[in-house]
Structure 1
């Protein structure tokens, strides 16, 4: 059944989902304000596809995440075009015929790469992606490396908003970037995907509009705001306009319907009682039913409440309960913001309603950080590992955008962090489809990948040689298993009922000396399982493991029950208490932010289709004594998010959903948050341009920034995100966005060192502290390789420091680390790599 269903997904899910229609509920406006509307399931008639891998695939999975812009009136121009040997004019990319194409000139003298194609929309619109359809008649000219730039006037282009590398296949590619107002968009092809020649071609080009994900914004504080409506319901229920500002999703503004309903349009005006820069409006539909969901809308602004200018946003929202965002074509300095709704999304009646209204403004770099350009990958980066030499290894499955079966090969890619170039390679020699694996970073810096689609297999990547090799297969077939390196240098694995026969996937250990696996019959997976209604298949997934001294492991989630694991001999597992008052938190995660201290974030009681939590907990241990306590809540509930510890000990959480559904971007959380261990509070950061949910990743980079990418891998669906972006945290930026001066490590860091040694590290100027952060590997929201180790250091002369590496391999786990120097303000240097083993 499992294999058959995977093949169904791999080859038929796209066509199946094309035939599905979203579930719509209908109710009368009177009395419809409180009963929650159930989400679609097969039992209540909702359109859904059952998959043993992913549960319920959302009925709207095929719907685009952003509207396709109307091409009426557009024109296209190219740096060159073929007009002699064939009709290869640039205009063909806008004619709606996939059999015609633009082709760079090749008759006579070939024109070398790069080639450019420029779209003029002849009007300014919010644009968020270019959709590239390769030619249908052959492979020549498929775009390989590319850049995308935008302009409002066709002359000032600025830096590219997206770069990347496309796979050499005929699939249509969506190249996303931060949404912004523009009239012109330019695609520059730097290479031909198959390196067959100096050509570029395209059958069709489309552009996507406002995806409801404003870039580089933050929520404006609503203190002192008021709301007024053209009309409101006060007889049949409390439908006052003020409810959109009360922070309670259970109260709503509703247009008047008792007696004679007031016809559309309806307006809602927010008065901030002070002028502020505003760049987006966030609309929360009512949670209690579909009536009154806003459909077609316009947004205008004013400084005085009397004179409102031309619309800054125009569009139509879908008829569902997801939070909607209208991105303005330009940032407005305003006091008043007016939402005018001209249609009800489902055409059920002349009503308008809203649960909450928020406004967003530009992010301040020194407080909220900033995002770089979107980098395209020739695959969805489902798993990633940070490597010495400023490289990021990424891999997915047998195909660039889908999984299925046990195909015996894996698509991989490496991002060069210095140049931004991405190279693709298919790995066949290990016979291992490494989708949904366990990962451990080995003591010598190699990457051990286990199980997944080829459930017994184990493979090793060596960054020193850029080669993959096989090692001995595991004793137990696994997928979605958890792994960590042990203080002994061995690798430990537990759980993983997604592959093989679900049940008690007991622990086992891989030895780097014998390259074989040793079973641990005393380490049952049962005490570490959640109470997921799907049973072991979901209950033993993605465990949070933290290796400690003496070969021991603390399993601190996602089950509410924590456990100590010993790995000597037959092994053993004993209870370590509960995680304070936390329920099970599947698809949440944990990160070690200090020695013996971890932070857990989010998750939900079941793998999918249950509300996520905003809760965060600290877990600390001394010896075998474990203490857990609730810290401040996140601003947003999250499952499928990713968390990264920074050199200064703060933790950033990226993405996730408030209601986890694999392969859906509904209920996406687009605001990262920064946790400060000194205060236990979370601060919102600059908004992400692209949702990062199921199958997304995040990694700390050696320059102190963070890579966030991926999501999807669902074939012909709208939520494949074959890309990523680098986030610059606030600690690196001045108020104007310029980079802060940073410490510089000039020498004294060897390629390898041993636990318990002292290093004499030289720096350019004074520094306040040093930390080691382990090179990490992430997949499925879990990264057990992360750990931050503050170091003891003393001055050793001008610009020199004696830096002590802990002797306990349970503290400084063997492996490759990034050594950072920090100044007195917590600004980190660019790291030097060192392997402690």
Structure 2
């Protein structure tokens, strides 16, 4: 069996699939993935249409915000520098658009002040160009590509007080055709560090998060009427959890600070069902849908402290239970994530 080298790269929730892919690619390829050119965290990672991975922004070991960006080439398992953002930022979102460009929106600068600016990365030139700015500066928000290709940005924070800062209720829509942002109604409950999942119906499910204190509420965005409506609440509050769209069209909510049980949302009945809890309570982890339909839970921090977790678990939707993942990941085959 080949030796496996895992380069641990702190990734935000939107890059969960990329974390798994880099791990599997390093295991299956002839060369192990090399380290980043610049150490960073709270950055973004986006798989491009070429198969390369764009990593941008974040902050370094000295807590300084970064403007630099780099590309991972899975063929050579190596990193190379690419064009830098015009504004250093962390806790932003990075979204792959239908035209192959990457939209980076919002985030916070070195002093923790929220940003309203947005930029587009063009893989053909390796350069960034400014695009329309958000109406509200924000970080720790979500960005979801809708069926019509527009990007829904929701919630987040705008102050510099971190988790003690009140969350935003505003939401905005980015139109790649015009580069403009338009209002997308207001969330019923302000929230940051939440999850947002595009359902097969085209609705977007926003779940939990924090507004100074953790939330348990959930709501749905309907792009056909550009408004939000209440959904059934979770049985417990949670923040920095993961949300994974299962093959069945249901959504698995796992982990989160202060949460033990996991829950599954069924769009057909608009209800939540409690399922088994993780063996290790964790938040700031990743959750990736495997080809088998199982969900791989990786890393994070313990809900009772700040100790990083190396253990992995796998959720089986058929039994509704979690088990140690082991090396079963490789039985699911190596295929690049869809987003």
Q: Same fold (TM over 0.5)?
A: yes
Matching residue of 1:447:
102
Q: Distance in 2 between matches of 1:627 and 1:483?
A: 15
**Paired residues, what number?**
291
Q: Does residue 1:429 correspond to 2:83, yes or no?
A: yes
Match of 1:628 among 219, 226, 229: 229
Matching residue of 2:129:
471
Q: Distance in 1 between matches of 2:56 and 2:184?
A: 35
Matching residue of 2:6:
164
Equivalent residue runs for 1:370-385 within 5 Å: 380=41, 383-385=44-46
Relative distance call for 1:434 and 1:488 in structure 2 (3 A) is same
Q: Distance in 1 between matches of 2:118 and 2:179?
A: 24
3-state SS, counterpart of residue 165 of structure 1: coil
Relative distance call for 1:634 and 1:387 in structure 2 (3 A) is farther
Q: Does residue 1:397 correspond to 2:58, yes or no?
A: yes
Q: Which runs of 5+ in 1 are unaligned?
A: 1-113, 115-144, 148-162, 168-189, 195-377, 503-531, 553-566, 659-668, 713-717, 740-773, 777-837
Post-superposition shift, 1:388?
6.0
Deviations for 1:390-444, whole angstroms, at most 9, x for unmatched residues? 8876666243xx4633443247768x7xxxx995636463246452113222113
Matching residue of 1:614:
216
Matching residue of 1:682:
273
Post-superposition shift, 1:643?
1.0
Post-superposition shift, 1:649?
0.7
Matching residue of 1:324:
none
Relative distance call for 1:655 and 1:736 in structure 2 (3 A) is closer
Deviations for 1:5-39, whole angstroms, at most 9, x for unmatched residues? xxxxxxxxxxxxxxxxxxxxxxxxxxxxxxxxxxx
Q: Distance in 2 between matches of 1:433 and 1:544?
A: 23
Match of 1:540 among 168, 180, 189: 168
1:146 and 1:164 in contact (8 A); partners too:
no
Deviations for 1:570-604, whole angstroms, at most 9, x for unmatched residues? 9764857x74xxx4443333323232434332233
State the TM-score, normalized to the length of structure 2. 0.58
Deviations for 1:736-793, whole angstroms, at most 9, x for unmatched residues? 99x9xxxxxxxxxxxxxxxxxxxxxxxxxxxxxxxxxx944xxxxxxxxxxxxxxxxx
1:705 and 1:726 in contact (8 A); partners too:
no
Q: Distance in 2 between matches of 1:651 and 1:682?
A: 10
Relative distance call for 1:642 and 1:395 in structure 2 (3 A) is farther
Deviations for 1:347-391, whole angstroms, at most 9, x for unmatched residues? xxxxxxxxxxxxxxxxxxxxxxxxxxxxxxx86575444566888
Q: Distance in 1 between matches of 2:239 and 2:132?
A: 30
Matching residue of 2:27:
none
Matching residue of 2:18:
none
Relative distance call for 1:708 and 1:488 in structure 2 (3 A) is same
1:380 and 1:722 in contact (8 A); partners too:
no
Matching residue of 2:238:
638
Q: Distance in 1 between matches of 2:241 and 2:194?
A: 7
Q: Distance in 2 between matches of 1:689 and 1:484?
A: 29
Relative distance call for 1:192 and 1:710 in structure 2 (3 A) is closer
2:44 and 2:58 in contact (8 A); partners too:
no
Post-superposition shift, 1:644?
1.7
Q: Distance in 1 between matches of 2:309 and 2:126?
A: 23
2:48 and 2:96 in contact (8 A); partners too:
no
Relative distance call for 1:444 and 1:736 in structure 2 (3 A) is same
Post-superposition shift, 1:638?
0.6
3-state SS, counterpart of residue 657 of structure 1: coil
Matching residue of 1:408:
67
Which entry has the higher C-alpha Rg, 1 or 2?
Answer: 1
Matching residue of 2:28:
none
Pairwise CA RMSD: 5.4
Post-superposition shift, 1:650?
0.8
Matching residue of 1:597:
203
Relative distance call for 1:410 and 1:499 in structure 2 (3 A) is farther
Equivalent residue runs for 1:219-618 within 5 Å: 380=41, 383-385=44-46, 397-399=58-60, 402=61, 404-410=63-69, 425=79, 427=81, 429-431=83-85, 433-453=88-108, 456=117, 458-460=119-121, 462=123, 468-472=126-130, 475=133, 478-480=137-139, 483=143, 498=158, 534=165, 538-540=166-168, 573=183, 579=188, 583-604=189-210, 606=211, 608=212, 610=213, 612-617=214-219
Q: Distance in 2 between matches of 1:724 and 1:413?
A: 25
Deviations for 1:447-468, whole angstroms, at most 9, x for unmatched residues? 3224535654625264xx8x84
State the TM-score, normalized to the length of structure 1. 0.28
Matching residue of 2:306:
719
Q: Distance in 2 between matches of 1:383 and 1:569?
A: 21
Q: Distance in 2 between matches of 1:602 and 1:409?
A: 32
Matching residue of 2:262:
672
Equivalent residue runs for 1:94-113 within 5 Å: none
Relative distance call for 1:568 and 1:391 in structure 2 (3 A) is closer
Post-superposition shift, 1:647?
2.5
Q: Which runs of 5+ in 2 are unaligned?
A: 10-30, 110-114, 329-336
Relative distance call for 1:490 and 1:533 in structure 2 (3 A) is same
2:252 and 2:262 in contact (8 A); partners too:
yes
Q: Distance in 1 between matches of 2:155 and 2:260?
A: 31
